[in-house]
Chain A
């Protein structure tokens, strides 16, 4: 594979660094069903990497492997230059990988502010006792992290719903809050599972802008799954195309778009 860790500069002036995460020959089976078959690809530092493919191609499973929900039967996951042992999802979070879900997974009983504050949990270290007494460290830590969260609230333009319980919000805003919660962790790698599913054009434009800004301002590496081809082609630096658990394309958007295998997968030719 082409895993040379040299950096380059994109046409719009962002610097793409070396390989941050590399999936090597991943195979994932559920009983007799092969969800992912021998797939390898890498994610480079600072890039926006899209994973596309028809329904059931194994895209979400791939994201679940990265975030620790599934352990592949074969293959290796490399992160920051070291092979990663099978981890629990909360340990993956501790390494600086955050994600959003296809079906929003927010904490409905909590306010927007509290939801985004939960994203800071990996940064909050004060123990049970100091929090129970709410002296010195616990209160100070709370307010420091609140400051970070308020910046994210500003960035996502949701100041007015700060104290609203998430359960009361409309769908588009929930998606935004979920992005905020992932951002609050200040992740090195941000995984977005269909961030624009079910949105109208205007909401999609907003979300695209946020994704580009996150990548640009915070330098966050982003891997996203998306079905809207226009969005994928516009946003991403490189695209992996999956179909029936196999990789059928990998490269810059314009290259992938003209690939015959990809066109076949989307337009549908008979599978042998």
Chain B
């Protein structure tokens, strides 16, 4: 009814290639941004920011990062947890080494270091593909966690072997440390999410993204049209790791505050982000958000219903939660193997003709 292409005439290639070509879509996008930036910060409290918003935003960044590598470039990776750890530890080292520098640049620096490490571990992708590459990235996961556990330099020789974020402020407002406020950490992460999504979208709609997708869909044909597979794959690893590194830095510095590497960035994390990407939809930025929302919100929702509404015991609810989430993932993947993004696309196609589909 209102979601229409009819009557909208695009007269330049710039208009045709924009991210939201349909006017309604565009307004919806602006509305979401407005609410996220101008409304939520005023009504947010500690429970919402810690249980819902921070994990959602941070995992969304990680999912976008992995989606670039796996969804767009077709290189399966199980090293996400390890790369997040690199981002976290790089951010920690930068925070403690340069205490006067803005925290924004620490997080960015964490991303850049992770990009370099990602390229290094991406090198095997030139020789191995598919499942075998996944196993090779598993090596990165275990090696990196081991490294951060064993080499005291990385955790500044602290007795506990943990790293904990010292207080850092941005324009006088604490972003990390014990005295943060909900709206500040939320906004800080939101800025990174917005930047990540815009950058990722720009990269994937231009020639770089086409190179990645060409490698994904048929690497021989990609080579014949002039794609250098080495550079395409490594650039995907670099960009993907950059985003994952940022999410790791935020996860440590802003969300958790203190981190024990094996627990926070273990293999579970790698799988969790991979599931987000698969459930959300491979090769879709929106899908990354949807997948992150699904896997972050569903457990919270279930817990609220089971414990809060039905009054079950917490431990029973916690166990049942796993069963239900697992079951829903299964049902969901059988019903729509291409993820939430595909579901969204189908809805939009239906909406275009609604209410007169003939």
Chain A positions within 8 Å of B, measured between CB atoms, are 67, 69, 88-90, 92-94, 98-99, 101, 105-110, 114, 117-122, 124, 126, 128, 131-134, 138-139, 141-143, 146-147, 181-182, 185
Q: Which of B210, B216, B224, B239 contacts A114 (CB 8 A)?
A: B210
Query: Known interface pairs A107-B218, A108-B217. Does A89 touch B223 (Cβ–Cβ under 8 Å)?
Result: yes
Contact, CB under 8 Å: B17 / A105:
no
Residues of A within 8 A of B203 (CB): 128, 131-132
* Contact digits for B257-287, partner A, Cβ 8 Å, 1 yes 0 no: 0000000000000000000000000010000
Question: In chain A, what residue has the closest Cβ to B221?
Answer: A105
Q: Which residues of A contact B213 (CB under 8 A)?
A: 107, 109-110, 114
Q: Can you name the residue of chain B whose Cβ is closest to the Cβ of A167?
A: B217
A232 CA / B283 CA spacing, docked (Å): 42
Query: Would B228 and A109 count as touching, CB distance under 8 A?
Result: no
> How many A-B residue contacts, CB cutoff 8 Å?
107
Whether the Cβ atoms of A110 and B217 lie closer than 8 Å is yes
A142 and B224 form a contact (CB under 8 A): no
Contact at A105–B220, with CB atoms within 8 Å?
yes
Q: How far is the CA of A110 from the CA of B205 in the complex (A)?
A: 11
Per the bound structure, the CA–CA distance linking A101 and B222 in Å amounts to 12
Contact A147 B214 (CB under 8 A): no
**CB atoms of A142 and B225 under 8 A apart:** no
Given contacts A133-B202, A146-B17, contact A185 B225 (CB under 8 A): yes
A205 to B168, CA, bound (A): 71
Nearest B-chain residue to A146, judged by Cβ: B13
Asked if A142 and B207 make an inter-chain contact with CB atoms under 8 angstroms apart, the answer reads yes
Can you name the residue of chain A whose Cβ is closest to the Cβ of B200? A132
The reply to whether A181 and B225 form a contact with Cβ atoms under 8 Å apart is yes
Interface contact A185-B226, CB-CB below 8 Å: yes
The 5 A-B residue pairs whose C-beta atoms are closest, nearest first, are: A93-B226, A107-B217, A105-B221, A122-B226, A134-B202
Is B335's CB within 8 Å of the partner chain A? no
Contact B210 A128 (CB under 8 A): no
Contact A121 B207 (CB under 8 A): yes
Kindly state the separation between the CA atoms of A131 and B226 in the bound complex, as whole angstroms: 19
Task: Give 14 A-B contacts (CB < 8 Å), ordered by A residue.
Answer: A67-B224, A69-B220, A89-B224, A90-B224, A92-B224, A93-B225, A105-B218, A107-B216, A109-B283, A118-B210, A122-B226, A128-B235, A134-B202, A139-B14
Our pick among A94, A132, A181 for the contact of B202 (Cβ within 8 Å) is: A132
- A128 touching B239, Cβ below 8 Å: yes
Q: A89-B223, A124-B207, A131-B203 are in contact. Are A118 and B214 (CB under 8 A)?
A: yes
**Which of these, B207, B217, B226, B235, contacts A109 with CB under 8 Å?**
B217
Give 11 A-B pairs besides A93-B226, A107-B221, A131-B202 with Cβ atoms closer than 8 angstroms: A90-B229, A98-B225, A99-B224, A109-B283, A114-B213, A118-B225, A118-B227, A121-B227, A131-B206, A142-B207, A143-B14
A90 touching B223, Cβ below 8 Å: yes
| Interface assignment of B211: CB less than 8 Å from any CB of chain A | yes
In the complex, A146→B207 CA distance in Å? 11
Q: Is the CB of A90 within 8 A of B17?
A: no
B217 near A90: Cβ-Cβ < 8 Å: no
Return chain B residues, CB-CB under 8 Å to A117.
Answer: 207, 210
> With the chains together, A124 CA to B208 CA distance in Å?
10
Q: Is B199 an interface residue (CB 8 A)?
A: yes
B-side contacts of A146, CB under 8 Å? 13, 17
Indicate which residue in A108, A121, A138 contacts B226 across the interface (CB closer than 8 Å): A121
Contacts of B202 in A (CB 8 A): 131-134, 138
Task: Kindly identify, within residues 221 to 255 of chain B, every residue whose CB is under 8 Å from any CB belonging to chain A.
Answer: 221-229, 235, 239
Q: Kindly report which residue of chain A lies nearest to residue B217, judged by CB atoms.
A: A107
Residue of B nearest to A93 (CB): B226
Whole-angstrom distance between the Cβ of B63 and the nearest chain A Cβ: 18
CB distance from B339 to the nearest CB of A (A): 13
- When C-beta atoms are compared, the residue in chain A nearest to B19 turns out to be A134
CA distance A98 to B224 in the complex (A): 7
Minimum CB–CB distance from A207 to chain B (whole Å) comes to 19
Among B199, B218, B224, B228, residue most surrounded by chain A Cβ atoms (within 10 Å): B224
Chain B residue at minimum C-beta to C-beta distance from A140: B14
A150-B210 Cα distance, complex, nearest whole Å: 17
Q: Report chain B residues within 8 Å CB of A105.
A: 218, 220-221, 224
A142 to chain B, nearest CB (A): 6
Residues of B within 8 A of A139 (CB): 14
Do A93 and B224 have beta carbons less than 8 Å apart?
A: yes
Which residues on B sit within 8 Å (CB–CB) of A90?
223-229
* B225/A143 in contact, CB under 8 A: no
Question: Which B residues lie within 8 Å of A109 (CB)?
Answer: 213, 216-217, 283
CA–CA, A110 to B13, complex, Å? 18
List residues of chain B with CB within 8 A of the CB of A182.
Answer: 225
Chain A residue, CB-CB nearest to B229 = A90
Given A143-B14, A185-B225, A107 and B208 contact (CB-CB distance below 8 Å): no
Interface residues of B in 171-210 (CB under 8 A from A): 199, 202-203, 206-208, 210
Q: State the Cβ distance, A101 to closest chain B Cβ, in Å.
A: 7
**Shortest beta-carbon distance, A117 to chain B, in Å?**
6
Interface hub of B12, B211, B221, B227 (most chain A Cβ within 10 A): B221
Question: A114 to B214, alpha carbons, bound, how many Å?
Answer: 10
Q: A90-B229, A98-B225, A107-B218 are in contact. Are A121 and B211 (CB under 8 A)?
A: yes
- Closest Cβ of chain A to B257, distance in Å, is 30
A110: nearest chain-B partner, CB-CB: B213
Contacts of B13 in A (CB 8 A): 142-143, 146-147
The answer to whether A134 touches B206, judged by C-beta atoms less than 8 angstroms apart, is: yes
A67: which B residues are within 8 A, CB to CB? 224
Find the B residue at minimum CB distance from A108.
B217
